[in-house]
Amino acid sequence: MNQQAPYRFIAHTADVPEDRALAVVLPDHPPLAVARLGDEFFVIDDTCTHGAALLSDGEIIDGEIECPFHAGRFDIRTGEATAFPCTKALRVYPTCVENGAVLADLDASGAAPLCGQTCTQAATV
């Protein structure tokens, strides 16, 4: 039983590749992407802030995700836009991992995640 909503299941860690983000479609939320940086996992909005591209179709390069449309980039940890033409930050959700599952608080108001590694706030899913 999940006693610590609003953290909710997003993906299995084993399904997240090393070099690309995993696209996640939930029925009640805009498209999400899960990215892996070493042992850490991050849940971000999948739609580029510059246009209608899906970032999960782009590459992960040195901690940044590159948009497949115009090669704009975002820092995966902070959401900061790091390469033109992207200027608006990407939303990054507080994320944690527990029992091989990536969990995220999709209701959080804009705070960047602190870890993405060991979950201390969510109960067993």
Kindly state whether residue 86 participates in binding ligand FES, applying the rule CB under 6 A: yes
Nearer CB in complex with ligand FES: 72/94:
72
Q: How far apart are CA 78 and CA 42, in angstroms?
A: 10
Q: Which stretch binds ligand FES (CB under 6 A): 5-13, 69-77, 102-110, 112-120?
A: 69-77
Identified binder of ligand FES from the candidate list 34, 45, 72, 94, rule CB under 6 A: 72
Q: Which stretch binds ligand FES (CB under 6 A): 10-18, 29-37, 64-72, 106-114?
A: 64-72
Identified binder of ligand FES from the candidate list 67, 92, 97, 101, rule CB under 6 A: 67
Identified binder of ligand FES from the candidate list 16, 44, 48, 76, rule CB under 6 A: 48
- What contacts 120, CB < 8 A, 6 or more positions away? 96
Q: Output the smallest distance, CB 101 to ligand FES, in A.
A: 29
- What contacts 59, CB < 8 A, 6 or more positions away? 19, 20, 65, 66
Q: How far apart are CA 35 and CA 25, in angstroms?
A: 14
Residue 102's Cβ-side half-sphere holds a number of Cα atoms within 13 Å equal to 29
Kindly state whether residue 77 participates in binding ligand FES, applying the rule CB under 6 A: no
Composition of the chain by helix, strand, coil, percent to 5: 5, 35, 60
Which amino acid, residue 40? E
Kindly state whether residue 9 participates in binding ligand FES, applying the rule CB under 6 A: no
Residue 55's Cβ-side half-sphere holds a number of Cα atoms within 13 Å equal to 32
Residues that bind ligand FES (CB under 6 A): 48, 50-51, 53, 67, 69-70, 72, 85-86
